[in-house]
Amino acid sequence: MSCHLYYLIFVFYLTQTFADFPYKKGFFDQYVDHFNLISFSNRTFKQYYLYQDESWDPKGGPIFFYAGNEGPIEGFWTATGFVHEIAPQFGAFVVFPEHRFYGKSLPFGADSFKPPYLGLLTIEQAMADFAVFLTALKEQLNVTQSKIIAFGGSYGGMLAAYMRFKYPNIIDGCLASSAPIHMQDINSPRDFFFQHVTQNFRDINEKCYDSVKMAFQKMNNLAASGPSGLRVISEEFKLCTALEDDKSYQHLLGWIRSAFTVMAVLNYPYPTGFMGNLPGFPVKVGCEFIMNSTSLLEGLANAAGVFYNNSLQCYDIYSEFIECSDPSGCGSGPDAIAWDYQACTELLSPRGSNSVTDMFPVLPWNPELRAAYCQKKYGITPRDNWTAVQFWGQNIKSASNIIFSNGNLDPWMGGGVNEDLSESLVSVTVIGGAHHLDLRSSNQLDPPGVVLAREKEKAILRQWLS
């Protein structure tokens, strides 16, 4: 997930400017704990938010609210051009509040990631932040009758949908893009993710898929031969620190798999600076490296370098990839700690790779491994049934006014809502789209499928707002 999904999830290395979508900044005095008055009483922290009101019609224009997810809010502002582009058509006020424990919105400053403060990082608290913030915003703007449409991508898409579930008195409609909410039911399939990543590469070229499989097999054979084999692997991959044992070798495998995962999730038709600098159609570029290399290992290393930067003299796999409770990756830095903790508490992850239904080596991840990791890291045992109880799991038909969009190229699609559930619980498939492509800015290289999806989404929003 963020990205996740989740995606998420994730740290954002931004190379773009915000010139196309200028914003104003604000801080809101937000409650530290909405549910236990004894713990912190009425103590508050500064919740950061961005907004623009240039196209707003104060005599009836709606509020377009983006549910901030796992990173600094500026990154989501930049990557969600669709909201900014359509705001003038609706006369909308646009606001992006930041998620607690990410970016500048740290309830306890540098101590936020220490116990017991980290326990206040929950979906429920984050949603309550948004609900309190939006209620105060409407009062401040003196537009208590204005409708609010929630937007979100990946984990933010989940939050947007959950806001409509839990606060229909505040949220009038929602566009949840690439939101794998079904995966949060412990009884839902969760082996779809690396299968879909694999299929994306296989669809480019069957030989690409075969070469990746053979490359990993060759690596396993070399690793099994001892220090000499590990030395060969280290040289082929230009590692800054040579592999020493099976633990370091397993880390390298995760580093490779993570690169292929990001290329599949962010398989946009044009270059992006979202989660690193990727070329257009990075899956195709990765396959071209694989097919044009002189050896299997060189091809695999060059393909991984599409994400990690092929121009580097050597790869520091320990800073570039950090193992965590989410097998799709958590990124690095403080935001990674927050996401790691969330993936240990309320957010369920996909299963690991198995080398049978996917092209990757056997890197298992299951509830038992997750529970052991989370107990060792945070001293907590996940309650795997809670998220489905609190956020409805697959039993969402009693909800209304939600668009669930998913790109057919997006590996997270398997955890999302992919069929209409009622007249107002609508599924939109973005043909040719990767992870929440429909929320990004319009681009001349957009596939026809995303153009059609956006028109359908706008038509539904108009219906709700009228």
Residues taking part in catalysis: 154, 410, 435
Is residue 416 within 8 Å of 180, Cβ to Cβ? Answer: yes
The secondary element (H helix, E strand) that includes residue 368 is helix 367-378
End-to-end Cα separation, the chain, in angstroms: 33
Look at the alpha carbons of 361, 366, 372, 373 in this order and tell me if their dihedral is positive or negative.
Answer: positive
- Phi first, then psi: give them for residue 316, nearest 5 degrees: -95, 90
**Contact call for residues 342 and 355 (beta carbons, < 8 A):** no
- How far is Cα 456 from Cα 452, in angstroms, rounded to an integer? 6
**E-assigned strands of 215-310?**
none
**Rg value, the chain, Cα:** 22
Element (H, E) at 95: strand 93-97
**CB within 8 A of 193, min separation 6: which ones?**
327, 328, 350, 351, 411, 412, 414, 415
Q: Which residues of 32-55 are buried (b: 16+ CB within 10 A; e: fewer)?
A: bbbeeeeebeeeebebbbbbbbeb
DSSP string, 111-160: GGGSTTGGGG--HHHHHHHHHHHHHHHHHHHT-TT--EEEEEETHHHHHH
Cα torsion 94, 137, 274, 199: sign: negative
Q: How far apart (Å, rounded) are the C-alpha atoms in residues 276 and 332? A: 13
The distance from CA 66 to its chain's CA centroid, rounded to whole angstroms, is: 14
Could you tell me the two tokens for 464? 């709700």
Site of tokens 């005095």: 29
- The three-class DSSP label of residue 58 is coil
Choose among 365, 338, 363, 403: nearest CA to 181: 403
Describe the chain by its helix, strand, coil percentages, rounded to 5.
Answer: 45, 15, 40
Contact of 93 with 51, CB cutoff 8 Å:
yes
